[in-house]
Structure 1
């Protein structure tokens, strides 16, 4: 299935390009139980295009997050969206034997996408030869942000508090982590029992990353308040930045889709800020000397009625 269309205008400086998208592109995944389905979106024109591999939140799929995927593609990125096993489109029962390992399979999905760039590039007519494989970023929302963070160097602590396996990927040069959950010390008893992998260690997350958190994001998984979602920045290394959205809840204004059931804080202006700041951050991180990030940061600082606050280490 190939789709074409213009991304929404007025969300960033510059004229958005037409976006071309194809789905599903199938990557063979022996041992996964299901081959991996991926959506590929790209601007219809331009070359040397940087790549974003995006990991969706729980229950979502490659079909979600149009406000982000369409915007990034319209502004010069190739966006690759795999469908993870927890997607509602696959309807895996809770008793499926893969369920306890889905958090790891998610990370393997992202690596598999990077391994499959040849197949994904060839699947979208006209995309061949237009990727810049030296400029690759990962991004994710909620559980997807945890999946993406592993490729940036974040680890999971074992029962003794020792950082586990390093699953970082040297091909990834930058990341955007949207509503990424905080430290495992602050889990509710239910979360601690059912989600033992939610014990992150951010000290080794050395790849440049932008963390985006909402100051009204109250998680049922944490005993703390919305500041829990700032932990990846607070406990992360130098080079990490934090965008805190005023009034933002877990959907950050509707990044997964304005009409998605989980969007409890719909706000197109808030989403537009996320679009602008994430695009600018990735440009700045992937292209040394690019001024997009410093310009966007200065604009937010000078805004008399800002929708968020930016901090950087």
Structure 2
């Protein structure tokens, strides 16, 4: 597999570059330790920020199962270059922590993942101080969040989605109004009888209620993403858009599987659908969406969506409510 994004030199990527603009140099610091009393493993995060700029918004990123603060550079480094202060926790399910499905801790990791993101917001003085020259340049009132796979489920809790209890009723409200918008990348859908036995036994969070998800969100799904956790097809990953009032837009990436072209990392073994162009398009579309979500007068998302539609490309399609 190629690590160099040679196939990103396409008319669509150029058109999207006209929308989002050139990126800045990035400063990235890791590991940064945050207080997490009672956590099975100390909490560490990566902080990435543009070397210049003022009033920078905050972007929380939640990784997929097994990853860490060292993953997802194709997205996180790009977002940082585009003006976001990106914070990436290493969740307990990271492979480096060695907590398997049979560990008593595993059943509560989904709530601990949420707490990791809350700790970032609650301890942002520590986060900001970790990066030389960042102090005083962050607008903490403009926070957004993005997550991939299990990380998408973690982020949708911040946006208002709940988990159904055994009686089918929505459980605790985890919504955090400090988070103004989100991006859900290959986030799992509704549960119920279509869940496979492993998911039903080990992953209680895979019974979401999207009716309470009211924070604006972009849902991203691959039309070739077939999960091993559900008997549903790729449309399973569009449920947050279909069933929530807050998910305003759906980006369907044609030919994309669960790694959406390679977002976990360049040359990652789990990428079965490597496409540097797909990743480049996703970088720019998500940037445009989050900027416009934070600033209603920003027309970048509409312009980016029009560029995708006008390109006549087989990359993907945007649906909006």
TM-score (norm 2): 0.93
**For 1:171-210, what aligned pairs fall within 5 Å after superposition?**
171-185=178-192, 186-210=194-218
Cα distance between partner residues in 1 of 2:293 and 2:143: 10
Q: Tell me if 1:264 matches 2:272.
A: yes
- Which residues in structure 2 correspond to 1:214-253 (within 5 Å)? 214-253=222-261
Match of 1:289 in 2: 297
Question: Per residue, is there more helix in 1 or in 2?
Answer: 2
Give structure 2 stretches of 5+ with no counterpart.
none
Q: Within 5 Å, which residues of 2 pair with 1:7-156?
A: 12-13=17-18, 14-156=21-163
Q: Could you tell me which of 148, 167, 175 is aligned with 1:168?
A: 175
Aligned residues: 307
- Would the aligned equivalents of 1:57 and 1:140 in 2 still touch at CA under 8 Å? yes
In the alignment, the residues of structure 2 paired with residue 68 and residue 167 of structure 1 have an alpha-carbon distance, to the nearest angstrom, of: 26
Query: SS of 1:89's equivalent?
Result: helix
Q: Measure, in 2, the Cα distance between the counterparts of 1:61 and 1:78.
A: 17
Residue by residue over 1:19-48, the C-alpha shift from the partner in whole angstroms, topping out at 9 and shown as x without a partner, is 100000000100112221000000000010
* Of 286, 296, 305, the match for 2:313: 305
Offset of 1:116 from its aligned partner?
A: 1.1
Distance (whole Å) between structure 2 residues aligned to residue 228 and residue 125 of structure 1 = 43
| Equivalent residues of 2:41, 2:97 under 8 A apart | no
TM-score w.r.t. structure 1 length? Answer: 0.95
CA distance in 2, matches of 1:165, 1:312: 29
Within 2, Cα distance between the matches of 1:207 and 1:271? 25
Deviations along 1:44-103, one digit per CA (max 9) or x if unpaired, are 000100110000000000000000001000011110000000001222244433111001
Q: Measured at CA, do residues 123 and 294 of structure 1 come closer, stay the same or move farther in structure 2, by a change above 3 Å?
A: same
Q: Which has the higher contact order (CA 8 A, sep 6+)?
A: 2
Residue pair 1:300, 1:306 contacting (<8 A) in 2 also = no
> For residues 239 and 60 of structure 1, do their structure 2 counterparts lie closer, same or farther at Cα, with a shift above 3 Å needed?
closer
Quote the Cα distance in structure 2 between the aligned partners of 1:37 and 1:119: 12
Give, in whole Å, the separation in 2 of the partners of 1:95 and 1:231.
Answer: 29
Once the two structures are superposed, what CA deviation does each residue of 1:201-252 show, in whole Å capped at 9, x if it has no partner?
A: 1111100000000000000111111011111111111552100000000000
Give the RMSD, CA atoms, in angstroms: 1.5
